[in-house]
Chains A and B, each alone.
Chain A
Amino acid sequence: MNRKVTTIFTLIALLLAAACQKETATPPGNENDWVYNPTPYNLEVPAFFPLLDIPSGNPMTVQGVQLGRMLFYDPALHHEGARACASCHVQEFSFSSDPEVLPHINLAWNSAFLWDGKVQGSLEDIMLFEVKDFFKADLGRLEAHPDYPRLFYEAFGEGGITYERAAMALAQFERTMASGNSKYDQVLRQEPGVFLTDQELNGYDLFFTEEGDCFHCHGGILFTDNEFHNNALDAEPEVGLGAITGSPFDRGRFKTPTLRNIELTGPYMHDGRYATLEEVIDFYSEGLHASPTADPLMKALPMGGKHFTGEEKSALIAFLKTLTDTSYTTNPSLSSPF
């Protein structure tokens, strides 16, 4: 009887020891000096920006942001190593480049992504799409990398390299990509000696009244409503959001891009048909096309456009240029870590 009890206790002790061993097991790669002790990241949100909803499952950490930054700039994320996120999302151009490439700026406040809204949800959702579906990332390539196994461990602990963790790291880095230091922001913050010129002020008045009526889609502190509109670009619009929803009423609806740093993110429209801001304003002034799904907010549609005067066009463009934030496009903490 006593022997039996002893045997049972021994077995329990062995099981507990095994469990404890598992708890303190060597991290992947047998690197005993790897440490999982993430440091909380203090995210600075620009003044007047909306409350930021950070998923509880992906808290911001210094290690996570740094890993995301590396993945953003490293072609190793691509299944053939052909390109990095930064190949198309170029900092100098507010993390944009080609016509179809929407700028990466203040994406943390977005909930619908890509021109046609193919991905909706959180930054983690869009980044998972980018990693898994768009880049078709080869996890083996990352696992064989001299640094990434350790960097993933330091950011997320045990569990190795996964698509989800790569997306989480990228989402953390993207949350640091906040632009709120344009001339317009400085005026809002009433910084000494910063004022809008008369022309910029005229542009502001046009922008934020129904005379110009830009604000209904491009308004608020983010200069986008994060919704989808058919802005009367074509009489026979491309499918747009309709390709995702299957609804004929969504034909021609595309995501409203932010106007922050718009000066740097040409060419314009989802297909890049306009090379300059002047061409864009000309379109809203004289170039609207009726179609069954043209947005009611295109109030001047029956007249073909707003018919701005030359002065008004210049004023609008002058105001748009006050949204340029070069501290964002030169921010060293957003630049390549390599």
Chain B
Amino acid sequence: MAKVFTLFRAGLLTLALALSFGCNEEEASGSLLHLNFNHNVGAQELGLNDTWYNSAAGHPFMVERLKYYTSNFALENAAGERIVIREVHYRDVEKPDTRTFEWKDVPPGEYTALSFVFGLDEVVNVDGGLPNTTTNINMEWPLPGDQGYHYMKFEGRYDLNGSGVIKPFNLHTGATGNNQNYVDVYLPFSHPMKLSGGTWQLNLSMDLNEWLQNPNTYDFEVFGPMIMANQNAQQVLKENGGSVFSIGAVEKE
């Protein structure tokens, strides 16, 4: 009987050790974090071509294309310590396979905020700064005297004061005239995100209305369809860019 008890104790000890190692392994392993880029216009989900939305300046508008870069993703903990991944993500709303930025091996931790650059910083935003792919070439910003790439192509049409006169708009943002114009996006989590291995989905949403209203009202008619070299328009969009993203559901698979 004593032998059986000893064996039972040994079994328990082995099981405990195994579980302990298992837990340690999970704690020590990094997480796979999926940053999913979604889009809405106010309370409505973004639909290309088929939906007209209201803008703060009073011109209903529709969206034909939306392409942009985000980069330099960082997670921050309560102590203000940050882990950074200096990678670039390209999003084209017409291409579902660009929805997600995969951040591999995120160290375990309790994170309180996500930050990233909307666009490209001055290190990357130079001619040839991105890999020489057809996608990146199509985003080049070739204005003589400037460098780098479009940060965003947000293109569509607006209905002038709802009068039925349809005009094109092209919110093309980027660096011009030595103004970098990228946006530092800082998004605190409502509850800390405790990463301890596994795969996580972090849903982000860009509200396109925020480009046009917060804190500045952006009026398509005032700035016109050509804004690449117009720093006033770029500045308005840069200032509005800080509030366009919000964090939605954070889920572990």
Contacts and interface: CB of A to CB of B under 8 A. Distances in A.
Nearest to B165: A302
B229 A210 contact: yes
Interface string B210-253: 00000000000000011011000000000000000000000000
A221 B228 contact: no
A322 B97 CA distance: 37
A27 interface: no
Interface residues of A, number: 32
A163 interface: no
Contacts of B229: 209-210
A219 B140 contact: yes
A94 interface: no
Given A210-B226, A213-B226, A219-B140, A296 B169 contact: yes
Contact of B170 (A219, A296, A302): A296
Contacts of B169: 296
Interface in B33-87: 48-50, 64-65
Nearest to A227: B138
A49 B132 CA distance: 7
A297 interface: yes
B49 A220 contact: no
A221 B137 contact: yes
A213 B225 CA distance: 11
Interface of A: 48-51, 109, 111, 204-205, 208-210, 213, 215, 219-222, 225-227, 247, 249, 290, 294-302
Interface of B: 48-50, 64-65, 131-134, 137-138, 140, 142-144, 155-157, 165-170, 225-226, 228-229
25 contacts: A50-B137, A51-B132, A51-B133, A111-B134, A208-B142, A209-B143, A210-B143, A210-B229, A219-B140, A220-B134, A220-B138, A226-B134, A227-B138, A247-B49, A249-B48, A249-B49, A249-B50, A294-B168, A296-B157, A296-B168, A298-B168, A299-B170, A299-B226, A300-B225, A301-B167
